[in-house]
């Protein structure tokens, strides 16, 4: 028994040391020279930078957001311009909620998650979940792809109705309803996908699923990859800084 216990402890320590070594290999960078203001590259984009304001899951302005602007690496912004041109031919514009996110903002999220008394925005963003599970279910992480500079959170804006397209859920909703495959299959476009979320009273409609697919397909056509837990989240497949986490604040460049 003691040998087994010793083996398990040694294995756990090895895992922890490996994690620490990986963190040491992460590069923190303050140089913003390869970043651009998205509106300089994609002038038709609409901005609603949620973390600059107070309507977000924390309920206050997030550290590091000094101005309501959106930044991306040049490569990601160029690809997003192609997406914008694509959806505009279909009658839509892109609306961005968040793009580059400094590490201090991620640290702010982590501190918030560790305060069980702060639940002022629970009813709007995570009514079915308690804060302690947000980490284990990967809704909040100590490291974010946004901090590498080539990830964007966005939706579609209908130029005819002059309203956001109905995606059947809001940005930063913590729950299965935000999954791209909720009630449908993004690969086959089958709705509903039999045996998955069927019978859920809170399921999205076929039109809402189709709307999500319009955005998803356009992003995939122009070099972005999706996240399996958020319909609004996409990262450039060939991101220029896959191992670099940036620290400079969000402000006009």
pLDDT digits (tens, 9 = 90+) for 104-163: 999 999 999 999 999 999 999 999 999 888 888 888 889 999 999 999 999 999 999 999
How high is the mean pLDDT of the chain?
88
Over pLDDT 90: what percentage of the chain? Answer: 77
Residue 22's pLDDT is 39
Side-chain half-sphere CA neighbours of 46 within 13 A = 15
Q: How many CB atoms lie within 10 A of CB 69?
A: 20
Instruction: State the pTM of this model.
Output: 0.88
* Per-residue pLDDT tens over the stretch 214-231: 999 999 999 999 999 999
Q: Which of 144, 141, 153, 175 lies closest to 49 in space, CA to CA?
A: 153
Q: Of 75, 193, 230, 239, which residue is the catalytic one?
A: 230
Side-chain half-sphere CA neighbours of 70 within 13 A = 27
- Report the alpha-carbon distance of residue 75 to residue 80 in Å, rounded: 9
User: Does the pLDDT at position 2 exceed 80?
Assistant: no
Active site (annotated) includes residue 230: yes
- Report the alpha-carbon distance of residue 135 to residue 138 in Å, rounded: 5
């Amino acid at each position: 028994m003691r040998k087994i216990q010793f083996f398990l402890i040694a294995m756990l320590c090895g895992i922890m040391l490996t994690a620490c070594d990986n963190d040491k290999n992460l590069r923190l960078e303050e140089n913003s020279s390869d970043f651009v203001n998205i509106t300089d590259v994609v002038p038709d984009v609409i901005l609603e930078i949620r973390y600059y304001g107070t309507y977000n899951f924390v309920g206050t302005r997030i550290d590091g957001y000094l101005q309501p602007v959106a930044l991306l690496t040049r490569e990601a912004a160029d690809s997003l311009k192609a997406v914008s041109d694509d959806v505009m031919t279909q009658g839509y514009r892109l609306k961005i909620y968040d793009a580059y996110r400094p590490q201090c903002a991620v640290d702010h999220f982590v501190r918030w998650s560790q305060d069980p008394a702060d639940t002022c925005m629970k009813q709007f963003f995570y009514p079915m979940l308690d804060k302690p599970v947000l980490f284990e279910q990967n809704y909040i992480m100590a490291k974010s792809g946004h901090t590498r500079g080539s990830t964007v959170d966005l939706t579609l804006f209908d130029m005819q109705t002059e309203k956001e397209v109905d995606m059947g859920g809001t940005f930063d909703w913590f729950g299965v309803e935000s999954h791209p495959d909720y009630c449908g299959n993004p690969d086959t476009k089958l709705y509903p996908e039999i045996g998955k979320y069927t019978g859920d009273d809170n399921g999205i409609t076929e039109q809402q699923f189709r709307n999500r697919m319009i955005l998803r397909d356009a992003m995939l056509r122009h070099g972005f990859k999706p996240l399996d837990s958020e319909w609004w989240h996409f990262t450039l497949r060939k991101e220029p800084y896959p191992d670099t986490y940036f620290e400079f604040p969000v402000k006009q460049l």
